[in-house]
Amino acid sequence: MCGILAVLGCGAEAPQQANKRRARVLELSRRLKHRGPDWSGLRQVDDDCYLSHQRLAIIDPASGDQPLYNEDQSVVVAVNGEIYNHKLLRDRLSAAGHSFRTGSDCEVIAHLYEEHGEGFVDMLDGVFSFVLVDTRHGSSSFMAARDAIGVTPLYIGWGIDGTVWISSEMKALHDECEHFDIFPPGHLYSSTSGFTFRQWYNPPWYDETIPSTPYNPAALREAFEKAVTKRLMTDVPFGVLLSGGLDSSLVAAVAARHMSATTTKNAGGNDHGWGTKLHSFCVGLVGSPDLKAAREVADYLGTHHHEFHFTVQDGIDAIEDVIYHTETYDVTTIRASTPMFLMSRKIKSLGVKMVISGEGSDEIFGGYLYFHKAPDKDEFHRETCRKIKALHQYDCLRANKATSAWGLEARVPFLDKEFINVAMDIDPEWKMVRPDLGRIEKWVLRKAFEVEGHPFLPKHILYRQKEQFSDGVGYSWIDGLKAHAASNVTDKMLSNAKFIFPHNTPTTKEAYYYRMIFERLFPEKPAILTVPGGPSVACSTAKAIEWDAQWSANPDPSGRAALGVHLSAYQSESESGEQHVLPDTMAAGAKKPRTIKVTTTTPPGVAIEG
């Protein structure tokens, strides 16, 4: 991922003022250099607009510097993202008479705009945030757009002098704008449409209409395989983030299988530039559940596996940097971002510039354990819709900013536009947790990859139950954070929280601690308002509490708060009478694994991961 900063509508300025403005744009753009350490570009357009770009070179590193242009440079664009169907679009545009200056996947945007105007955005298959300036009609006009789900971050601000500011991260505009906000995913903003937002992404699931399409395992599997393989488009070394859970394991399995086939086809070589083996990466405290599970999956898939360790103190020392880069005070996001932030630095040190990750699956398939309590399929489906729409403030933000802090790009195939269309069109009755039918959470996804004869994963991995990332790296990680926060926040401070932080008042010492750091870094009220929240609860939405009041009893958003769901969902007698062993981490303080009986008809040997 790259970093973009645009200042638009400056108007005619005296040379001295224009020079001062340019210097300021350069200074602010440097705040995004971590996102794009490979090259910096700045274009001043008609003395009215400035487009700045910090480049992370993934496609065409030699000639794809930005901003990018059409043939006569009358259309200028700065892009953060990847356009996976750029070759198809390039062929069509070339046939229509367009010529290209670079091999960059993003150059097609300028030419598509020439052909189709602002209506071209839905033609892009990829993730992106961009700002485009058109000078063809005497005076400059501009448009900006953000990808469907908000995988790439984007903020918009308004200066007191009438300027419009657009940036990949808040830190480049928060102290220059009278007001700023999150640029909404799936929208475009245009000067020719009255400086208003317009929604360009509006799939059938967006209005939460309940679908009725029968479940087709082969169609779901094929859509996901396409989503993964298109994200192998790269000219630089890459790998996969592998925690050993279902989602990251499926990503790794599909990528490894594709690379193996490519290597065979090319008679011993491949086009990916870092050997013939897929590289996988995992992080955790020594002895953590993730490290053990990831090693098992890596051994099965035959990846070149890299295991990174960190200590609780390493994580605590990084908290301020994590909050600066992620630009949030959300407790769960910071807990999970910190190990990812530390791992990304290690990965980048190996020369890797792109990784593929498993975010988005839980939102699409109802994988969070409170979905066990969904009262019916309608409520189940509507909650998945709400969670997908909120991803840009949680998991997308974490995955993008925690990796981009070190100039590393994270790609997320579960959030592929076409895959989401297929997955969200399934009748949600199939996604419901049904112990009586042997269906645990995300059963439709697990079943789609239960291929006899040539399995993608062993069944006990395919049916392993969810481990929240911040727990999986080691349970003492969260305990250490709480203890550190308690040593910095007194009871008296917390009792006065509603006066110090009247908006999204923190209710725990950990939340208070993060909020103190955030407001020191980003003191403006609009910055505070960009973070969603309210009192931390065991699940991320109030809707879950409506389903079952037990979720409101535990103020900790850790996956450990879902212990009752793990046990209650699987504790009764099964028809087969099979017994399954819970790992040590499920039984707090237990020195030996505990055995429980399960209600499901899950295949023998299936481990239930905490």
CATH number at residue 225: 3.40.50.620
Binding residues: 105, 241, 283, 357-358
Does 289 lie in the same domain as 193?
no
Q: For residue 473, what pLDDT is reported?
A: 82
Last residue of a domain, one of 456, 483, 510: 483
Place of tokens 């990466």: 281
In single-letter form, the type of residue at position 50 comes to Y
Residue 463 lies in a domain: yes
Residues 6+ apart with CB under 8 A from 583: 289, 593, 607, 609, 610
Q: For residue 583, what pLDDT is reported?
A: 31
Does 86 lie in the same domain as 40?
yes
In single-letter form, the type of residue at position 489 comes to V
Active site residue 282: no
Q: For residue 226, what pLDDT is reported?
A: 98
Q: Which of 2, 177, 282, 385 is catalytic?
A: 2
Residue 547 lies in a domain: no
Does 326 lie in the same domain as 466?
yes
Tens digit of each residue's pLDDT (9 = 90 or more) over 264-281: 555 444 455 566 789 999
Binding residues for L-glutamine: 105
Q: For residue 581, what pLDDT is reported?
A: 31
Q: For residue 84, what pLDDT is reported?
A: 97
d(CA 38, CA 168): 17
Last residue of a domain, one of 135, 169, 202: 202
pTM above 0.85, yes or no: yes
Does 306 lie in the same domain as 196?
no
User: DSSP per residue over 83-140, as a string?
Assistant: ETTHHHHHHHHHHTT---SS--GGGHHHHHHHHHGGGGGGG--EEEEEEEEE-TTSS-
Does 238 lie in the same domain as 191?
no
Strand extents, DSSP E, 379-505: 409-411
Does 129 lie in the same domain as 264?
no
Residue 562 lies in a domain: no
Does 472 lie in the same domain as 396?
yes
Does 359 lie in the same domain as 277?
yes
Does 385 lie in the same domain as 301?
yes
Residue 496 lies in a domain: no
Residue 416 lies in a domain: yes
User: DSSP per residue over 302-343, as a string?
Assistant: T-EEEEEE--HHHHHHHHHHHHHHH----HHHHHHHHHHHHH
Number of domains in the chain: 2
Q: For residue 161, what pLDDT is reported?
A: 92
* Residue 536, helix vs strand vs coil: coil
Q: For residue 142, what pLDDT is reported?
A: 97
Residue 570 lies in a domain: no
533 contacts 331 by C-beta, under 8 angstroms: no
74 contacts 135 by C-beta, under 8 angstroms: yes
Tens digit of each residue's pLDDT (9 = 90 or more) over 127-174: 999 999 999 988 899 999 999 999 999 999 999 999 999 999 999 999
CATH number at residue 135: 3.60.20.10
Residue 528 lies in a domain: no
Binding residues for ATP: 241, 283, 357-358
Q: Which residues of the chain have pLDDT under 50?
A: 267-270, 535-539, 567-610
Last residue of a domain, one of 438, 463, 483: 483
Does 303 lie in the same domain as 330?
yes
For residue 15, what are the domain limits?
3-202
188 contacts 200 by C-beta, under 8 angstroms: yes
